[in-house]
Structure formats: C-alpha cells, structure tokens
Structure 1
C-alpha cells in the first residue's frame, strides 16, 4: 500500500462496491497513470471504501469539490486481463454495478483491502509418537485411521480434514493421545508440477466406445468450443473429465472444475487426487478467509493444477488455464439469487471464449438452454447412453396413491418393497423435498393453521426442537399448546416432512438404522461429509433425504429409490417447473443400481396418468426434454426468448405497486418486446415485505440490452423508488 501523495494530480473514475452503476470521480497524485482495476481506498460519506480504478476522468471542471484517494493499494491490478475483461462484461450483461461485480470476484480479504500475500493457517500434523503408530492397530476407530493415513505425507488444514468427514471430536482424541499437533504455518506449494515427466498417479479405467469418442473429441479442440457431455446417471462422465484433463495437465496448463454445491467437492477432490500427481485445491464458502486467499493465490501463480470450486470460483484467476469443466450444468445452484445475480455456467462460457479454450458442460439432465445450443449445433453434443462398468439401467414403477393406505407418506406397497430390499442387505433411499416434521400445524376443531406473521406461508413443525419455523424468512416460535383461533388444545401436525418420515421408518422397521440427510441434520461443520461417508459405507440401510441427495452422490449399495411426493410440480405456475421435475426425478433415480446390483425407482403419485410422468418413465429425460423444448418454442419462452425480471418490495403494498406501475409506464412501444405486470410474486409477502414483479420479454438479447439501458436512468430518477427496494434479474430462474 502507498499513500497517494507524489507526482501530478490526476482525476480518476472509481467504481465502488455499491448497488449504483455509476462511477465516482476522485483526485490522486501519482507520477504515472494508475492502471485500470487497481484497488484504491477512498472516502465515501462518513466511511472509507475499497474501490477499483476504471479510467482517467476528463478534464472538464467538476460541478462540486472532488475528494482525494486516501491510498493506492496496488501497483498493478490483481486480475489477469481475461478476468478483468470478464468482470467488465458481466457488469454490462447483468446491468450491475462494476464495483460490486469486481468485489464479488475477489476473496473477502482482498475486498477489504488486504495485501495479496500468503497468510499463515492452522494445520494438523503427526507427532513423532503419531508416526510410530500402526494404523492397523486402530481397528474399530475408522476415523482415527483416516486421519493418520491422511497426515502421513504432509500436514493438512482443518478444512481439508473436514472435507473428508473428520470431526472435531476425532481430532481432540488424537491430540489427547499426543499423536497429532496443531501448527501455524504458511501453506506449502508444489511449484514444479508443470515440469514433471508425468502428472498421473494411476492409470485411468478402460473406456467404453462412447466414453472414448467423448475424450477424443474434447482433446481435439485446439481453440474455444463448448461441448455438452450428456450422459445417463452412472455413465462415467467423471472418468471422461479425468482422461480429458490429462493432456491439458501434461502441457503444464491448469483446469478449472465447477461443481454446484460444497457437498460435491470432497468426493470430486478425492477422485482427482487419487488420479493425478499434481496439486488439487478447492474453493468454496465453507473455507476460512485465509484459506480462500491462499488458494486463490495458488491458482493465480500456477501452484495449483486443478481448481475445484462452487459458483464464485468461475472468477478465479489462473496463470495458464487450458480447460474449464462445469459439472451438473443444469443445477439451479449456479445462479446467484440475490445481489449480483449471475449464472456461473454462462460466465464460464464467456471466460472460455475470452481465453480461446474448450469448455465441457456435463449433465444427465441438460438444461433446455444448453440442449437447444446442442440441437442447433452451437455446442458439440457428446452422448453417453450406457452405464459404465457394467451397471444395469434402472427399472421404473408407479404407485397410484388413490385409495392406498399411507403412513407418513409411505404407501403399503412401497413399505413391502423396502422390507424386501433391506432383508437382502441393500440400501433404500427415500426422497422427500420437505424438511421438518410436518409442513403445517393445524387445529383439529376449527381447521386453523399456524401461519408466519411475516410471510404468506405456514410455519413448519420441527418436533425435535419443539419449534415452529418459517422456511422463508427464518422466524420461529415455540409450538403453541392452544389454537390461535378457537383456543382448542387439539392441535395436529398436517402433512409429512423428513423428520417425521425418519421417525415413522424407525417404527415400521424396528432395529434398522435410518439416516436423515437434510439441511437440519447437517448443520454442524463436517457433518454432511460424515453422513455421506456413512451412507456410502452401507452403515444405514434406510436413507432419507431432500434435494441434497439428488446431486451426483455415489451410493453403491442403494438398489431402491422412492420419490414420495412430487405432485405439486405438475401444476406449478412457474413455466420451468416441468423441466425441474424431469431433472429431479432423473437425478434421484440415478442414485439406484450404481454398480453391479440391479436398481429400481418407485414414484408415488395421485396422477399416474399425467402426460409428463408418462413421458419421463416411458421415454426418459432426453425425449421429455426435446418435447418440452418444442413446447417452449411454440410458446416463445426461453431459450427462444430473453427475459429480465424487475423485482420490487416494500413494507407497504401500495408503495411497491405504485412504484412498479411507474416503471411499467416508462416502457416504450417496441416491436419484439413487451412488459408484463405489475403482478405479485408467487409468494406476495415475505419477511414482512410485499413483493411485486415486472417481466420484460424480448425476442433478442440485443433488444433486451438496449431497452434496459434506456429504462435504467429513468427508473433511478423516480422519487417513489426511494421507498422501495428494487432489483433487476437477467435470465431469471426463480419467480418466487
């Protein structure tokens, strides 16, 4: 850091991490012009902010007295050219503040103005006593064995151990024994991996014909191209990634792998580390600020060969990036739903274009946007139609719930099938995308339902903590003893959640272990990885889960998967609901029969005759998706049109309706575009605020961009907007 105090005084446009898209002019004394993108600390009102130099300002006399830059934090900008271009492009495409986009692309410590330098972290290491221990003598202490094996070659960070399911209790036990110790040290770096004769630790698996064609096609790409790797669940997409990465790493180039959720990074990391003798790192929100900065620096300076990360990792700078992989490209987690509302898949496509390198999009259930690009030959389309390793395709069965006896969401017919599988020593996965004990508390006398006082939603019953919780705003209260309307004490739980399902399965199958995996049961750090490992090891015959279990996990002993209740998606107001149901069903079904055991999927429904269900079960996701794509084209819905959603919210309904109406009145009459609304959001009131929307529908991206650029200055000038919190969502994925 240096004080801005020498040289001639220059005037700069600075982008600040604020919602407003405008830049602010500041004076700075410097001998040489400041490069674009360097960080500067500047006064703003009563506080100081870290901003980013955009350009030198014109010499026109300012209309007010300009403030001076307090300090210049960098001599050169932190990003390489491709990331700075990507930040600028993202700001334009999403019509979002450049300063906020720049800040979101950096680790937290750099946003705050810290120096881009390696920091010490907490590491666990073996003591001499620990090195003397025989792992085989620790029978019955699998986690302790795992720690000693993991620390055999090098000290590891706490997050590294958490990622493989190691808990604090296990570490305390080993510390008490004197076998491991805690050290504060800077991370060690492998600076020579690019010069190794080989980056392989072990050879890859033999490929089937489809896999071999996919690997060959990817490796033939000498410049930018986007490839859709569409493969049925269990078809060996990861093996294709690994073998396609090998020549890239052999050339000394890096690979960026995006995964949708933190829960998928450990298993991906493990497979990559087993295959490659090159540094593999992770980037996700579960890491400390120091860990994220050090890992970011490893990627930037080329010390990391493979970078695996969630959504925000798409902005990670690399010394020499040669390939980008976006796994489960259809997943909604890639779209940021607040603040800077970007889609990591789309930004990855742009980044690959800027670097002129190939990009692989992998999925068993490709999004309709990606599928349309493949059908129209803008993307290469690689198909894996058979399961790898001799695994069989799963069988599908419908259970009509009409007039069926049901207990906690489980029909008698399904209960009998579960009994058969667990007696054979197999595992059963029951999917219910509704956590808690029950979705509502109801009075048996008058029908009153406990409703959140801040949202248009009912409280969810969480019996384990004796609480009612709102899953939309987070408010909670103790379960009441009396009805809020008639005073009756006869209150009952209405509907079924995962907590109740877990409880009922223990009654149905006494003595059989039940493992529930949802957001409530995995709140503690490391607990999700621990539970996933237990599920993989067949420690529990019965698995209960929400959508967390639908995403790419490999459970080799699961032979029966049951989806208990998905009927709500059949009649949703969201035009994407059918696509999401198709993806969800196919992904959940893919957890069955992953290896040499036959698999079966059971779908419980009150509407077995529904066209969507019949198409999915009889023809599979690909046929269903192509049919849905034709329907989208006929209805002029994405990907055959381009949307933008204006959201407004306020504590007063009239204010937000009036504000959105004023925005609607600004819309010019233009051929090929129209603005729908104002209309209430699918949930009108949330967290005490009324929410209304305007939907801009355009025939081209160019027209959408031009219209929004025309509208934004006028919208920002509306006096009523000061009373309303509003936002703009480009390519919206969620209308709730």
Structure 2
C-alpha cells in the first residue's frame, strides 16, 4: 500500500503554486520530516507538511500519476508543529508561499546535500568539544532597577518592552533572565536576536563568558549571514537537536528550529534591520512576538528608543483607552553613576558659509584628545563626496543605470553607485565639456576623516604622539575581520577620533568616549517619509549613548554630545537635549493619530519592476482597478501607482502603490483575495519583470 504525502518545496510567489505538492511514498512519514523530491527535471529538498493518506491500488486507471519521493534525510528529528505553524503564519501574513518561507529558513547546505552526501555526513565522528578557556566573568550585583525588572519578568507573562537608557544595563537583564530560565529547566533554549552582524561578536563574547563555564563551550551558537554554509548547518543542527541552549543571531534566527524554546530576547528592537527587504519581507521582531505566543515563551523587546509601534502597544491604561498588549518595564538610570551626556546644539546659521566644524566644537575636541579621551564623529554618508560636479556645464556624476548619483571615493579614485555597484575611475576632465576643474559636492566620511586630520594636525595625545583618526563604515570594513580589528583598536585606546556612519552608533560599549559630534542631521527633519524623524531621533539618542558610559570619565568634565543644525530649536532637538524619549514619542504619536498613520492604521505596498515606468505603473493601476470593488467593501484605500523614490536601479524601472486600512484583519482579507488578481494580471502585463507585496513597510 502506498501513501499520498503533502510536501512543501521552494516555490516562488510568482509561480502561482502557493501550497504543498502531493507525492507518493511507500511508507508514511511524520509531518516535519525532511525529504528530497523530484520537481520537473530537478531534485529539491522538501518538508513533509500534511498527514499521509493511504490508498490502495484499485486496478482502475488513476486520474493522475503521482511522482514518488526520492529519499528521506535520515537521522533528523522532524521539524515540530510550532515551527511549521510559524512558517505558515509568516507566509500568510506577508503574502508569500509557505514553501518559499520554509525552505529559505533552512541552511543552504542542508538544501543542497543529496541523501548520499547526508548519509556520509552522519557517519563522521563528532569533534570533541574543547573546554571553554575564555576569561571568567565577574558577575555584577544587579541594581535596584534591574532587580525590579527581573522580578516583573519572572512573575508576569509578557511580552515585555524593556525601556532602558543607554548604559542602564539591559544586557545584564538579558543575561540574568536567560540564566533563570536555564537553571529552572534542564532542556530550555533561549533565542537572543541583534539587528546587525557587527553587534554579534561583542554580545556573543559576554554570553559565552557568562554561560560556557557552567553549561559547556558548545551551549551557545550564532546564526548570521557571515557564517560559512558549513558553520550555519552545524549551528542549525545544534539548535535543532537541543544541544545548543542559546542561539544568538540576526533576523534569520527567528526561524531557527528550537524545540525547547522558552525565552526570546530582541535587542535594539527599534532597528529597521529586523525587517527583511528581499523575498518574504517579514519583520523578525513581530514574528518573535508571535512565536512567543505560539510556544509559550516569554519575549523581551529591549531598546533605549523603542519603535513607536512597540511604545504604543505598551501604553498604560487610561480613562479613554485600555492598556496595550505589552508590559512596559523602565530602567532610566545608568549603571555605576554614569551620567547621560550634556547635549549642546550649534546653530549653523551663525557659522561662516561652508563651515564643517564650528570653532567651539573643534576647541572641545582638542581639549578631549589632549586629556586622553576619545571622540565619535557621526555622519551617515560614506564615500568622499556624494556627487562630482562640473561648475562650467553643470555635469554631475549620475549613474547611467540608476536614477541616482555615483559617489566619489577618493582612496581608490572611483565613482561608485551604491545602488547597482557600477564603478568607474574618476574622469580626468568633465565628460560633457572637457573642463579639467571638476570638484566634489557635499561630504562623506572619507572627506571628513581627511578634513579632521588637517584641522587637528597640531593636537598631541598625552604621551606626545600625534592624534590618531580612524574611520568605520561599509567601505573601511569590507574585508573579513576588519571591523573586529578596528573596534578592538578603539577599545584599546589606540584611536582618538572615530569617524563613521550609523555603524558606530549602535550597541558598542566604548568606555573612553566622552564627546560625540553629529553632523548634517537636518535632512530627516522635513522628509516626505513620516518615519524619518523617528529614525533620526533614535540614531542621535543611540549615538549620544556611546558617551559617558564610564562614570570616572565624567569626573574631569561632563561628557557631551554636539549636534550641528540649521534648525536647533526644532522640537526633536529639544527632546534630545532632555534625553526625553517619552515626550518625543507622545508628540509623534499625536501627529500620527491625527493623520491616521501607523500604528493607528495598517499599510501594505505593492512594488512592480519593469523595463519602462509606464509598464510598471500600468500593472499596478490595473491591479488597483481589479481590487477596487473588494477594497470599497472592506474600506481599504488603494492609492494610485507612483514611481519609487529611486525609480530606476540597474536599468530596471520601479513603481509602487500604497494600500491602507484602519483594520489589520480587513487588510489581510483583502490582500489574500487580491493575490489571484495579481497573478492573473501578470499574463496580460508581460513587460513586468517582478512584483512583490510588502506588508507593514518601513520605507515608502
């Protein structure tokens, strides 16, 4: 007797195959079993999704001939029901196929290994795990605030929003909460998520020092895109088997197979990096909340500047509205008497034209360096200059393939597009008129590093040595291990002034930094993106938090943050000066409520890409017409198609259409039924290369 089994394979959203495929098998297989199945001329990894239905051969002609599964990956425990339910929910909510989400969540090497290769891998003798030889960590006594927060986490269900100022000891709360879970349950597993890879080594080191001496060197594994395929498979298997007690990773880790998950920590929960921007555009933070509910695991979201959505969901009850779904826990004080930096605002309207650093700021920087203190300079734009310009004819370094400018990089004398990667040597003369005098417009971190070296050339360190300036951005840390090396130099005190992009503003514990300077901050104040002020305030608050983390550095003079702006009296800077996130959040939420913007409404974007803007917009407007009747019935607003902010990338035109509704349920209902229209329209709009639905978009 053979069995019909449902198998989920990787089928892209555009294929029109959204569910599981049916195969034949001589034996029944438990749901969650990994199998290899034929699809067309290929053989793919699949996950058994449904129960097996036995059927006997009646001798009559079968209505269709089912293909048999090729092989089973033996020795692997089936993926459990909670994991499959998480995948099913993510696929449904974010409008993708379940197979695409399920298979993308598995290590690439597992997808590629044949049954024979997998069998050979199983026969390998496991390596003997060496004893942990790292430095033992002195466990600090928790502060009163930390103790209260930990007591609340222990006695309440959550989810929790841990609102703690930079330097308040949120990481120590994570460590102690994890320790309590591990000591209570001998099998418990913990998922700790960070927004970016560059934060992982630092946090991993602290977790290893705390847990490896007691639970073994193999109790913790990491998951992020910098791992090799072999490392990722090894770590995934350790988590799947329950051998790894703690998984530390970026957004992809939310789909890690962890059968005994009991605690999820999402550090810096406000960070946009938790939102996937390709394929299934899921929010790992939001899926962490869902997974916690699904598996009965506690969830801690931590941030000094929470997202406005999380802040709204953790609101206390009032006479006019009930309390939010999250429990808000506050830690306003810094550990060890460290003080938050004094925020100074510089009115650039009173500075000479084209001033980069005001004289008062330069004097403050000189004073700090001569005392052996460190400085961070934040400019969120890499390269030497954003544009190269000809003053005679007006030529600018536009990218021929994108509707954007190529950035001038002086170190290798190139013009590089940060969107498509197109790179050319800097021309000797203007390509348009032949003028030899072409000059850079604007500033990037490269130019800032060079300019500071000139301005501070006469400054000496306490030992009489010249000042040392370093730069950390996506260009300077491109090589493997370079970021870790540069951060180690900063921590060791070998760098006096660190220039960088937002990479230096997040999560790093620089003990000797006493001054932070933020340049060119005004662009986000009047952006068309309603989330721009939230992102700017978060970035500046996080950057300010790098200063004054060591209380002894405040003994000579207070630590400072300098913000240069042409609008120093803007309410955002007023709230920043007071380190008053609640006031900023209240003002922003009031504006959003008046405009019915998230979190008071729910949005989705449909993006289309084609060889011409007309084709992309034509597809979206046709989709708008097809869904108009249902949208009216459900009170869903469909806006006309418009070009994206950067409408052409790599010679592909891009357009988008916004969908908005005050009911999440109605929006989801509309999107689910509208999918059939989108697939049907694809046949009539052959010029469209691809389209995608982005639910809860972060950038419009």
TM over 0.5, shorter chain: yes
Distance 1:423 1:214 in 2: 40
**Offset of residue 392 of structure 1:** 1.0
Q: Does 1:205 align with 2:140?
A: yes
Per-residue deviation, residues 477-533 of structure 1 (Å, max 9, x unmatched) = 110112132221110011111111111111122221111001110111111011111
**Aligned pairs (5 A) from 1:315-354:** 315-354=255-294
SS class of match (1:441): strand
**Offset of residue 410 of structure 1:** 2.2
1:393/1:27 Cα in 2 relative to 1: closer, same or farther (>3 Å)?
closer
SS class of match (2:411): helix
**Aligned pairs (5 A) from 1:96-175:** 96-113=96-113
User: Partner residue of 2:518?
Assistant: 563
Instruction: Choose from 30, 37, 42 the match for 2:32.
Output: 37
Per-residue deviation, residues 528-579 of structure 1 (Å, max 9, x unmatched) = 0111111111111010010111110011111000001111111111111111
Report the more deviating stretch, 243-252 or 97-106.
243-252
Instruction: Choose from 683, 701, 715 the match for 2:646.
Output: 683
User: Partner residue of 1:616?
Assistant: 576
SS class of match (1:418): helix
Distance 2:206 2:119 in 1: 30
**Offset of residue 635 of structure 1:** 1.2
Q: TM-score, normalised by structure 2?
A: 0.89
Per-residue deviation, residues 661-716 of structure 1 (Å, max 9, x unmatched) = 10110122135311112011111112211111111101111101110111101110
User: Partner residue of 2:45?
Assistant: 50
1:64/1:213 Cα in 2 relative to 1: closer, same or farther (>3 Å)?
same
1:471/1:202 Cα in 2 relative to 1: closer, same or farther (>3 Å)?
closer
Distance 1:41 1:312 in 2: 23
Contact 1:427–1:560 under 8 Å retained in 2 = yes
User: Partner residue of 2:431?
Assistant: 484
SS class of match (1:655): helix
User: Partner residue of 1:153?
Assistant: none
Per-residue deviation, residues 560-609 of structure 1 (Å, max 9, x unmatched) = 00001111111111111111111011011111111112310000111112
**Aligned pairs (5 A) from 1:455-604:** 455-510=402-457, 511-596=466-551, 597-598=553-554, 599-604=559-564
User: Partner residue of 1:734?
Assistant: 699
User: Partner residue of 1:157?
Assistant: none
Distance 1:105 1:337 in 2: 15
User: Partner residue of 1:250?
Assistant: 183
SS class of match (2:328): strand
Report the more deviating stretch, 522-531 or 45-54.
45-54
**Offset of residue 76 of structure 1:** 6.8
Contact 1:408–1:496 under 8 Å retained in 2 = no
SS class of match (1:317): coil
Instruction: Choose from 238, 262, 267 the match for 1:298.
Output: 238
Report the more deviating stretch, 296-305 or 528-537.
296-305
User: Partner residue of 1:283?
Assistant: 223
Contact 1:461–1:493 under 8 Å retained in 2 = yes
Distance 2:577 2:62 in 1: 67
User: Partner residue of 1:383?
Assistant: 330
State the number of aligned residues.
Answer: 656
User: Partner residue of 1:220?
Assistant: 155
Distance 1:438 1:101 in 2: 40
Distance 1:114 1:637 in 2: 49
Per-residue deviation, residues 428-452 of structure 1 (Å, max 9, x unmatched) = 1000010001000001222221100
**Offset of residue 456 of structure 1:** 1.1
Per-residue deviation, residues 279-308 of structure 1 (Å, max 9, x unmatched) = 222111111111111111222222222211
1:302/1:24 Cα in 2 relative to 1: closer, same or farther (>3 Å)?
closer
SS class of match (2:694): strand
SS class of match (2:23): strand
1:117/1:44 Cα in 2 relative to 1: closer, same or farther (>3 Å)?
closer
Q: Does 1:369 align with 2:309?
A: yes
1:633/1:696 Cα in 2 relative to 1: closer, same or farther (>3 Å)?
same
Contact 2:31–2:48 under 8 Å retained in 1 = yes
Contact 1:41–1:113 under 8 Å retained in 2 = no
Instruction: Choose from 12, 26, 36 the match for 1:18.
Output: 12
**Offset of residue 93 of structure 1:** 1.2
User: Partner residue of 1:644?
Assistant: 604
SS class of match (1:55): coil
**Offset of residue 80 of structure 1:** 2.3
**Offset of residue 455 of structure 1:** 1.1
Contact 1:259–1:326 under 8 Å retained in 2 = yes
**Offset of residue 56 of structure 1:** 6.1
Contact 2:624–2:640 under 8 Å retained in 1 = yes
1:188/1:225 Cα in 2 relative to 1: closer, same or farther (>3 Å)?
farther
User: Partner residue of 2:84?
Assistant: 84
SS class of match (1:215): helix
Instruction: Choose from 706, 712, 724 the match for 2:675.
Output: 712
Distance 2:634 2:233 in 1: 48
Distance 1:607 1:399 in 2: 9
Report the more deviating stretch, 554-563 or 203-212.
203-212
Per-residue deviation, residues 247-275 of structure 1 (Å, max 9, x unmatched) = 11112222111011111111111111222
User: Partner residue of 1:696?
Assistant: 659
Distance 2:114 2:294 in 1: 28
Per-residue deviation, residues 598-627 of structure 1 (Å, max 9, x unmatched) = 310000111112232223324622210122
**Offset of residue 201 of structure 1:** 5.9
**Offset of residue 186 of structure 1:** 4.3
User: Partner residue of 1:129?
Assistant: none
User: Partner residue of 2:200?
Assistant: 265
Report the more deviating stretch, 50-59 or 648-657.
50-59
Contact 2:7–2:46 under 8 Å retained in 1 = no
Distance 2:202 2:353 in 1: 36
Q: Does 1:310 align with 2:250?
A: yes
User: Partner residue of 1:155?
Assistant: none
User: Partner residue of 2:618?
Assistant: 658
Contact 1:677–1:695 under 8 Å retained in 2 = yes
1:382/1:49 Cα in 2 relative to 1: closer, same or farther (>3 Å)?
same
1:22/1:318 Cα in 2 relative to 1: closer, same or farther (>3 Å)?
closer
